[in-house]
Chain A
Amino acid sequence: MTTAPRPGAGAPRHYEFPHTERVTLDNGLRVVVANIPRLPLVTVLALVDAGSSNDPSGREGVASLTARALTEGTTRLDGASLALEMERLGSGIDSGSDWDEAMVHLTVMPTRLERAMTVMGDVLMTPSFAPRDVERLRAERLADLLQQQVEPRSLAHDKFSEVLFVAGSRYGVPSSGRTATVAHLDAEAVRAFHAARYGPHTTTLIFSGDVTLERAVALAHATLGAWTQTTVSPVAIDDQPRHEGRRVHLVHKSDAPQTELRVGHGGVPRRHLDYFPITVMNALLGGLFSSRINLNLREKNGYTYGARSGFDWRRGAGPFVVSTAVKTEVTDAATREILHEIARMREETVSADELSLATAFLDGVFPIRYETTQAVAHAMATAETYGLDTDYYSRYRERVRSVTADDVRRVAREQLHPEQLVIVAVGDASVIRGPLEALQLGALHIEDTTV
């Protein structure tokens, strides 16, 4: 059998990110539309500046609870009827929040858009927040927190932020709150948060799919045109890490067959001028399958099923973190290799060949990221949330391609801080404590979650 020689690439075909148009209604509501008539589908995403960063101290979790409670009933439809009305239209209506925004979204066939938008308008403007529904969602969050005590991944995730950020930083508490703060929440708190943060000035309505600008604006006007709001002031977030030097936080889980590892430190805000060089640097370090950290831990050593690094992009400085789960016996060796790769990224300039692995990937994969109306809507939401330039998506690929090896070295030195690394390990302390101490990484603190 003969095998034909390895082929090269053909000439690339041109691609444009979907064109977006924007209109602001008289009441201040922004409407942004990407008309993509390819398939009979429309995604509608309401983006509200009411994310978890806005939680008052002691009420952490109220933004998340409010966002989830929006779809549990309106003055017109109770929760059960609302769910049925939407599902008869072939769509759920999902609501939730992240650090920076609350979101309500749905995807329907265009013929069902009018009815779906009526529900969307009610959910945003006149949610009922019935005490029983709010209490149920609150109890579900408390149940999640209870379960988390035996769920090593989310335990490691939340513990990392808690250990990393200064006391009092909103980023140190999980976005949906912790048991002590969720205990204080009720329908009253949710109503107050909704009244303070939800309205036409804080909301952008995003349409993507088989819908024209005219139709989208007419629907926005009909359903949300009467919405009013007084001015809202932005909330500043304390995103400072503790700056206590390198340290290890060990959470004991007896007989754990694996250790969940998180290694990282404070990062930078999304609007940082070096966003592109940092993204390319991270892709090489641990963002790609063929990145240094994954190839080392998985393909060379077989320590793990996978390892990755990432900057958690937010309005404030979210964390930079390396995440992996490794066999208990190699916890120290895996930690040492992660530290080694972080140091190496700072010390050596990457070759042109290695650099192109990241730039060619990020450049080439761009159209593949936006195949669905949902993906396009979320990209539009990111641009809104962080105030990205109007030509951000049309210039994305050239900006990735223009990152140099010197840029990568510079941002590695500026944004990776080996001496400030926080290492969180959730695993069997009786096996991993000694070996981790022997690495002499810094102060080691042990916590026992056994209940």
Chain B
Amino acid sequence: MRIPITSYRLDNGLLVTVSPDHSAPLVAVNLWYHVGSANERAGRTGFAHLFEHMLFQGSEHVGSNEHFELIQRAGGTLNGSTWLDRTNYFETVPSNQLAMALWLEADRMGALLPAMTQEKLDTQRDVVKNERRWSVDNQPYGTWWERLPALAFPDTHPFHHSLIGSMDDLSAASLEDITEFFRTFYTPDNAVLTIAGDVDEAEARRLVELYFGPIPKGAGKPPLAPMELPRTFGDWRRVTVEDDVMVPRLFLAFRSPVFGHPEYYAASVCATILGSGKGSRLYAALVRETELASDVGAFTYDLSKGADLMIADVTARPGVSAERLEAEVAAEIDRLRRDGVTADEVQRGLALIETGYVSAMQSAGDRADKLSMFATYFGDPALANEQLERYQAVTAADVTRFITSSLGEDNRASLLFVPRKASEDIA
């Protein structure tokens, strides 16, 4: 399955991708800025994400709550999200509203700062602190997504610190920070724009040039601290966290090849074999057979620089100790190392990945996001059309090779959550 992809660059460096599909009268507009929490300076954890919120607070020609309102009035859906190495903004609108969506994105890329005020910053700071409370602090196991990168990446590494940020650092963020961050990172040469759906290519080119063409190129961004890491952790590192939870849960991470690397595809298939679906190794062994776990998962983080992580996530049944849980998961990993995987297991993994990929191509928004991802990380959105072939080339020997090199005891990081009253049996 291949989708039509055209891409070109404006004089100011903006990489534009257009992918027409006229099956329904709707179009997705998707921007990725190549900036994430990795680009934050010391003392400003959480800033990239707080900044994302500020992009919905209006721009020179758009009022405070108008961005959301204009898109919703147009019959569109919209949002944004921040990740370790990128921030995205996206909307899907009826295709006759494409110009409005592009104009709104261009106005905030070109002229955000005139709309920024201390009051808006203070309100969004409160909103983000509430987002932190809601998704991290007041949620069982909620701190895993800041504890795991902290355990898996060295202190000095750009992926080490918290994406949502500390309350203190959020409090310290100022309007001067907004100005500096905007001027450094929110420039056309540090962004990609994708338009997917019911769009005429010539009309798209005209609108993009009209709205984004006049925005000046940036002055470049400071380099990140060194990203490269050894192939393995070099040890089996462990952190145990007492939390307000009723049963233990283990996140077991392995350093793995970066997204896009030839070996990445074997790691991704390995994750599917290990923990994706009821036919996976961990589900069959720990949920169905021994009944020690109630839930399992495995996935890759899909980081494209430095090193990626493959993670197994297993929740214990009541009465099962944290030590037992970790030992049983490790035993399944060791079984993989001893026996490797079968061609049948690889076929199962590939079939699931294939259906997932085609399913994701149904929605214009998902399609645009994938194209923006390949444009941002590799400068080539057309790589989206090669992914299935790359997966299909993966053999059982490739997966077994990945297992041998990456799932050993010298490459494990255990983040283990245990109930606060750890000494008592809660069963």
A-B complex is real: yes
The interface of chain A, by Cβ under 8 A from chain B, is: 1-4, 6-15, 38-41, 79-80, 83-84, 86-92, 107-109, 136, 139-140, 142-144, 146-147, 149-152, 256-258, 260, 288-290, 295, 298-305, 325-327, 356-357, 360-361, 363-368, 370-374
Chain A to chain B contacts (Cβ below 8 Å), 30 pairs: A1-B215, A3-B214, A4-B210, A7-B100, A9-B97, A10-B95, A12-B25, A15-B24, A39-B358, A39-B361, A41-B362, A79-B278, A83-B279, A86-B279, A87-B351, A88-B348, A109-B355, A136-B287, A146-B246, A150-B245, A150-B246, A258-B130, A258-B133, A290-B69, A299-B127, A327-B130, A360-B72, A364-B75, A368-B77, A370-B24
Contact A298 B127 (CB under 8 A): yes
Known: A257-B138, A364-B94, A366-B75. 4 other contacts (CB 8 A): A136-B288, A139-B291, A302-B122, A365-B77
> Which one of B24, B76, B122, B354 has the greatest number of beta carbons of chain A within 10 Å?
B24
Q: Chain B residue with minimal CB distance to A1?
A: B214
Contact A305 B130 (CB under 8 A): yes
> Which one of A2, A4, A107, A109 has the greatest number of beta carbons of chain B within 10 Å?
A4
Chain B 91-118, CB-CB to A under 8 Å as 1, else 0, gives 0111111111001001100110000000
> B423: CB under 8 A from chain A?
no
Residues in B neighbouring A327, C-beta threshold 8 A: 126, 129-130, 133
- Pick the 4 closest A-B CB pairs, nearest first: A364-B75, A302-B126, A90-B351, A13-B25
Residues in B neighbouring A10, C-beta threshold 8 A: 95-99
Rounded to whole angstroms, the CA-CA distance of A327 and B130 in the bound complex is 6
Residues in A neighbouring B216, C-beta threshold 8 A: 1
Q: Chain A residue with minimal CB distance to B98?
A: A10
User: Nearest-CB distance from B236 to chain A (Å)?
Assistant: 28
Chain B 213-239, CB-CB to A under 8 Å as 1, else 0, gives 011100000000000000000000000
The interface of chain B, by Cβ under 8 A from chain A, is: 1, 23-26, 60-61, 64-65, 68-69, 72-77, 92-100, 103, 106-107, 110-111, 122-131, 133-135, 137-140, 198, 210-211, 214-216, 244-247, 277-279, 283-284, 287-288, 291, 294, 317-318, 344, 347-348, 351-352, 354-355, 358-359, 361-364, 426
Contact A368 B355 (CB under 8 A): no
Residues in A neighbouring B106, C-beta threshold 8 A: 3
Rounded to whole angstroms, the CA-CA distance of A83 and B214 in the bound complex is 55
Residues in A neighbouring B137, C-beta threshold 8 A: 257-258
User: Nearest-CB distance from A356 to chain B (Å)?
Assistant: 7
Contact B94 A367 (CB under 8 A): yes
Residues in B neighbouring A4, C-beta threshold 8 A: 103, 210-211
Rounded to whole angstroms, the CA-CA distance of A41 and B126 in the bound complex is 44
Contact A356 B73 (CB under 8 A): yes
Q: Which of B72, B103, B247, B348 contacts A7 (CB 8 A)?
A: B103
Rounded to whole angstroms, the CA-CA distance of A357 and B140 in the bound complex is 37
Residues in B neighbouring A288, C-beta threshold 8 A: 72
Contact B359 A365 (CB under 8 A): no
Q: When A80-B288, A290-B68 are in contact, do A38 and B127 touch as well, CB less than 8 Å?
A: no
Residues in B neighbouring A109, C-beta threshold 8 A: 354-355, 358
Contact A256 B362 (CB under 8 A): no
